[in-house]
Amino acid sequence: MLTHDSFNVSDELIAEFESATGYDLVITSPGDAGVVTSQLLLAGDAPGVDGVYGLDNYSAQTVVDADVLASYTSPSLPASADDLVLSDQLTPIDQGQVCVNIDHEWFESNGIDEPTTLDDLATDEYAPLLAVTNPLTSSPGLAFLVATIAEYGDGWQDYWQQLLDGGAKVEGSWSDVYYVDFSGAEGAGEFPLVLSYSSSPAESGGTTGVLEASCTTQVEYAGVTKGAENPTGAQAFIDFMLSTEFQQALPESMYMYPVDDAVELPSEWAKHASLVDEPLDLDAAEVASNRDTWLEEWNTLYEAS
């Protein structure tokens, strides 16, 4: 299975899958979800893997359009996930929201009001405090780019120009930006505003929170590759990822919400990791048709900054 580098499954779960099915699970993780998408597109009909996990909703349609996945949607999909299905080539596995996270303690100790809008982030006061990820290589980065386009329409480039000129930092991966740059995480970095997930405050016990006006939906999908040597093995693992045991493990192992709404969330999530009611979303097909253009335009701004 080809996955992003945040894929984290316990040895016990892997052993359970292998014992139940007789398959040996081998995971290949070349980088963030953006790298996974690029690798699939470049490999075409010679993928070298049997399946893929971690395609997000703003990249998945591009992969479907490239016709590199076989038709397979798991029969184990719960009814609560029916509205998350984009294609018969994809199975939704988990969901969440990408949001700017706020280090409450940093703002309180420095006597600075927290930002409340996207406009705030682009000001001289807050832009130097913000670290985000590159949308060319990072699925949260792409999701945040989409959120700004949903909010500002044709004016999104002006918004990003203000962010970049104002001193916002851009990193290649989520793990770098969250665990190294963010002041509210274990790295105790220099940036009290960071692009992460709505679930991240559950890890901090509520000392961090989210900028609700910045959130956008993220759904992660799995699929079987065309040209797979063992498509039935990939199908079996996709089915396994929808099992109660795997879905229950998602919050604490990968900080994503299960697609099975019958699975109870950890108590810390109920307190500190709620989803916002009105995320900044765009239709997946619209994103797919404009994705390359938007990324090229963003990269031009970034390289000139």
Q: What pLDDT digit, counting tens, does each position of 153-200 carry?
A: 999 999 999 999 999 999 998 889 999 999 999 878 999 999 999 999
pTM for this model (two decimals)? 0.86
pLDDT tier at 19, thresholds 50, 70, 90? very high
What are the backbone dihedrals phi and psi of residue 41, each rounded to the nearest 5 degrees, phi first? -65, -40
pLDDT exceeds 90 at position 50: yes
**The pLDDT of residue 182:** 97
The CATH number of 2-95+218-272 is: 3.40.190.10
d(CA 144, CA 160): 11
Q: What percent of the chain has pLDDT over 90?
A: 81
pLDDT tier at 76, thresholds 50, 70, 90? very high
d(CA 48, CA 70): 14
CA 164 from chain centre, in angstroms, equals 22
CB contact at 8 A, 212 and 99: yes
Q: What is the residue type of 93?
A: I
| Least trusted range by pLDDT, from 74-78, 111-115, 236-240, 289-293 | 289-293
d(CA 298, CA 148): 12
The CATH number of 97-216+277-304 is: 3.40.190.10
pLDDT in tens, 239-254: 999 999 999 999 989 8
d(CA 250, CA 252): 6
pLDDT tier at 89, thresholds 50, 70, 90? very high
Determine the average pLDDT of the residues in 63-77.
95
d(CA 278, CA 106): 27
CB contact at 8 A, 169 and 153: no
pLDDT in tens, 101-147: 999 999 999 999 999 999 999 999 999 999 999 999 888 999 999 99
**The pLDDT of residue 226:** 95
What mean pLDDT, rounded, does the chain reach? 94
pLDDT exceeds 80 at position 49: yes
Q: What is the location of CATH 3.40.190.10 in the chain?
A: 2-95+218-272, 97-216+277-304
**The pLDDT of residue 66:** 93
**The pLDDT of residue 255:** 86
**The pLDDT of residue 13:** 96
Determine the average pLDDT of the residues in 61-65.
92
**The pLDDT of residue 65:** 92
More confident residue, 158 or 264: 158
More confident residue, 267 or 220: 220
d(CA 193, CA 129): 6
**The pLDDT of residue 126:** 98
